[in-house]
Chains A and B, each alone.
Chain A
Amino acid sequence: MARHLPRRLAGTLITLIVVGFVTFIALDATPGDAASALVGESASHAQLQILRAQMGLDQPLVARYATFLANLVSRGDLGQSLVNQRAVNQLLLERLPTTLILAFSATALALAIGLTLGMIAAARAGSLLDTALMSGAAVSLAVPTFWSALVLMLIFSVNLRWLPVVGASGAQHFILPTLTLALPTSAIIARLVRASVLDVFGADYVRTARAKGVAPRPVLTRHILRNSLIPVITMLGLHLGHLLGGAFIVETIFGLPGLGRLIVQAIFDRDYPIVLGATLLIATMYLAINLLVDVAHGWLDPQVAEGAV
């Protein structure tokens, strides 16, 4: 993997630049641009043209994207919000911690639940318990997060009054959102762990280890777990990335001031610099996680590192 790293890094960077450009184009050709948003309805056509020229909006698209990238690389500048003129990078930094805490805690919880239940199901494959666990997993995959969020709220906030409904002033505000996000992810992980353990269990090297008299526990931890973790790590990385970008529904419901809620609000306000900046930040984190997953993959599975796969 180490040999391929520079190439992968370069590929990721190019992907990011194209992602930014696609978003830039998608958001650019809109009727109300930054200049008219700034001066409002009252400005005359001439005033608008002068302001457009000052802001560089009369330049061709590619030139403007180049300027945007240059500002981003040289000063970390992502432009200004059209609504309150605050720097976009400042807004993103304010919102990032909430999203990170939520994504990482949900992933950790999902891993703990999914690994435990998946191993239990695999160890009792074909039993009633296995069927019950896997049916439960299938159903919880189909439950929309915006509904489970409401049901959890109804139970724990409205009826039991154990937890606050909305807000982000303390750890207790993160309990229900974390639970909501972890539920479907743990179902996916449990299914994957079960399938993967069963798959590895039938492999030749496991039979060899058992035949040569390795005790059951080392067979489980050293041979089966390590190898069956490979697809789990891939899936986990993917989901962490999705949570970083996809938690906007849960953030909105629970009133958590994260990146997702920032984007949703910006879409309502037609505040495109924020949408663009947040999209780029989320895509960057997602691609970085993918890269890390690949590195971890190579470390766990030497065949990948050797390029045999």
Chain B
Amino acid sequence: MMMVEVGRWKLEVGNRATRIAPSLWIGGAMLGAIIFAAMFAPLLAPHPPDLVLADAKLSAPSAAHPFGTDNLGRDMLSRVLFGARIALGIALVGVAISAGLGIPLGLLAGYHGGWLDQILARAMDVWLAFPGLLLALVIVSRLGPSLENTIIALGIMAAPGFFRITRGATISARRQVYVEAAQAVGASERRIIARHILPNLASALIVLATMRASTMILAAGGLSFIGLGAQPPLPEWGALLASGRGYLDTAPWLAIFPGIAITLASAGLNLFGDGLRDFFDPRQIQKPGF
């Protein structure tokens, strides 16, 4: 191990990353802001998110209501802050579902190969034959529109990504000498997967999880926006945008602030994922220029 000084950063590195990509700390800061808002929403919010202030309907942003109020007189800043909790919930639970489905199936397919692998890989092809959010739509159609069902649908929809990465990496890891050695000395399958295969996969999976969290927040917002996701009065950002849509000409702040919040969360996760990828695989940073 050696110490490398990069700007203000001191890194302990082997022959790996020698710098932290700016996207890592910019994305991290944006993500941190969202997590902070979610954790301390009750302390930060000037009002309870569902409190109706009858004499302050549709008031423009002011000192009393920095993000204005909606058509019922609810404080938008409070609603957007509490919305951060829902967004993080979508990201965490949604990613947990898709990783929980994709990783075990990917390990199974990649480690065992053969007919099991063939069947699982074909099943994932069918999964992926539903373009865009179509699979989520079919699932929501079956389960009925609600925030929980949207999260389930998005979690199921995103599973093939985790499956593919896990399967591919498991297949190549299985051929490595250290795995063959572990097999030769009689290590159990469970131990080989847990000690030799999963650690090698961790960085790719963390990057994918970060990216998927970003798309899930966007997708859930989209479904809520058209009425197929979170239902009122939940302060989900997409639902907030949808209710602000009818007041575009008189109260544009209703649509602007939730949109900024979604973009911040999604961009933060994207940048953070980009930065993580560069950090884990520094070879990708050094691209030749013209």
Q: Are B137 and A142 within 8 A (Cβ)?
A: no
* CB of B30 to closest CB in A, whole Å: 9
Taking CB atoms and an 8 Å cut-off, the chain B residues in 112-164 that contact chain A are 125-126, 129-134, 137-142, 145
Judge whether A18 is part of the interface by a CB distance below 8 angstroms: yes
Judge whether B262 is part of the interface by a CB distance below 8 angstroms: yes
A-B contact pairs, 6 of them (CB 8 A): A142-B218, A143-B266, A144-B221, A150-B248, A198-B290, A253-B245
Judge whether B225 is part of the interface by a CB distance below 8 angstroms: yes
Q: Are A248 and B226 within 8 A (Cβ)?
A: yes
- Of A65-73, A74-82, A104-112, A281-289, the stretch lying at the interface with chain B is A281-289
* CB of B70 to closest CB in A, whole Å: 15
Which listed residue, B125, B141, B218, B267, touches A275 by the CB 8 Å rule?
Answer: B141
Judge whether B61 is part of the interface by a CB distance below 8 angstroms: no
Q: Are B221 and A146 within 8 A (Cβ)?
A: yes
Hey, what's the 0/1 contact readout for B213-240 against A, CB within 8 Å counting as 1? 0100010011001111000000000100
Hey, what's the 0/1 contact readout for B81-108 against A, CB within 8 Å counting as 1? 0000000000000000000000000000
Query: B249 — which chain A residues lie within 8 A by C-beta?
Result: 158
For the complex, give the distance between the alpha carbons of A141 and B135 in Å.
22
Which B residues lie at the A interface, using CB under 8 A?
Answer: 23, 125-126, 129-134, 137-142, 145, 214, 218, 221-222, 225-228, 238, 241-242, 244-245, 248-249, 252, 255-256, 258-259, 262-263, 266-268, 270-271, 274, 287-290
Q: Are A151 and B288 within 8 A (Cβ)?
A: no
Chain B interface helix/strand/loop/mixed: helix
Residue of A nearest to B238 (CB): A146
Which listed residue, B228, B259, B268, B270, touches A264 by the CB 8 Å rule?
Answer: B228
Using known A-B contacts A144-B263, A146-B221, A248-B226, determine if residue A19 contacts B141 with beta carbons closer than 8 Å: no
Judge whether A61 is part of the interface by a CB distance below 8 angstroms: no
Query: A245 — which chain B residues lie within 8 A by C-beta?
Result: 130-134
Among B125, B129, B252, B263: residue with most chain A CB under 10 A: B129
Starting from the known contacts A142-B270, A263-B137, 8 additional A-B residue pairs (CB-CB under 8 Å) come to A15-B126, A19-B129, A125-B289, A138-B271, A147-B255, A253-B225, A279-B137, A287-B129
Residue of A nearest to B254 (CB): A150
Using known A-B contacts A138-B267, A147-B259, A252-B226, determine if residue A272 contacts B129 with beta carbons closer than 8 Å: no
Q: Are A150 and B241 within 8 A (Cβ)?
A: yes
For the complex, give the distance between the alpha carbons of A29 and B270 in Å.
38
Q: Are A150 and B126 within 8 A (Cβ)?
A: no
8 tightest Cβ-Cβ pairs between the two chains A and B: A246-B132, A142-B267, A147-B259, A125-B289, A245-B131, A142-B266, A286-B131, A242-B132
